[in-house]
Amino acid sequence: MTAYALLVEYDGAGLVGWQRQSNGLSVQEAIETAATSLNGGATPLATAAGRTDAGVHAEGQVVHLDLAADLPPARLRAALDFHLRPQRIAIRAACLAPEGWSPRFSAARRHYRFRILNRPAKPALEEGRVWHVPLPLDAAAMHDAAQALLGKHDFSAFRAASCQAEHAIRTLDRLDVTRVGEEVVIHASARSFLHHQIRNLAGTLHMVGLGRRPVSWPRELLEGRDRRRAGQTAPPEGLVFLGVDYDPPLPWVTSDRA
């Protein structure tokens, strides 16, 4: 057996998320199916750094795959990328997995971006990639509110009811809100996140951006630890899993060109 790491991009639309489900195609099933012919006909197991929900996109999901074959990483990348051709799933890079490495437990930091299209007109080019908020948002107020959430806290107020984590204590390293033309973009980084944490933070910050809640509100919610008081869960299509930091970094290979 050879253990590989894969760097994976996907469009979450039309997929049921990372994890295998009976109700539709998941990224996990697509990759495992594409790898079957490289694994002597047996379906291998793929595990990921983050179990993205249905509709959530990825630019830099990281996947662990054990194969019976011993292929150079560049050839594995090209073969999987080709076999995944009908899907909007791309294998950007591959490498041999370091001894004892886990995409999930070895992660030092995860990075996400959430995009809000903040203009009266509906999305056309970015439909399915943004949350459309037609009324004007004050991105500076959202950013100020977000800074009060940084650090190590019990994030129960921003946790999905379905969250399976043992506890809700997380350390939020970055939660930046910036306006970029017609968009308000949220960047979030932490070693790990709770289920729906970023989408719940986005829905809560958007209430501050609209001026319906004060800048102090998200911090008060955090301290109250009561999910029922926070803002709505923002829709999945605005969220992109940007990537994962490992220490040391993985030795990614994209092609076998010299």
What SS3 state is found at 209?
Answer: helix
Buried b (16+ CB within 10 A) or exposed e, 91-115: bebbbbbeeeeebeebbebbbbbbb
- Residue 149 or 250: which CB sits closer to a second copy? 250
Contacting residue, 75, 92, 113, 174, with a second copy by CB under 8 A: 92
Q: Looking up tokens 């950013």, which residue turns up?
A: 143
Q: Does 211 bind a second copy (CB under 8 A)?
A: no
CA 114/CA 206 separation, integer angstroms: 12
Which one of the listed residues 11, 53, 176, 226 is annotated catalytic? 53
Q: Does 89 bind a second copy (CB under 8 A)?
A: yes
Q: Does 125 bind a second copy (CB under 8 A)?
A: yes
Contacting residue, 2, 9, 174, 192, with a second copy by CB under 8 A: 9
Residue 201 CB neighbours (<10 A): 31
The amino acid occupying position 207 is: M
Q: Does 173 bind a second copy (CB under 8 A)?
A: no
Q: For 24, which DSSP code?
A: B
Q: Are 48 and 63 in contact (CB under 8 A)?
A: yes
- Residue 127 or 223: which CB sits closer to a second copy? 127
What SS3 state is found at 205?
Answer: helix
Q: Does 228 bind a second copy (CB under 8 A)?
A: no
Q: Does 88 bind a second copy (CB under 8 A)?
A: yes
Site residues for a second copy per CB under 8 A: 9-11, 57, 59, 77-78, 81, 85, 87-93, 119-125, 127, 129, 136, 240, 254-255, 257
Binding-site residues for substrate: 112
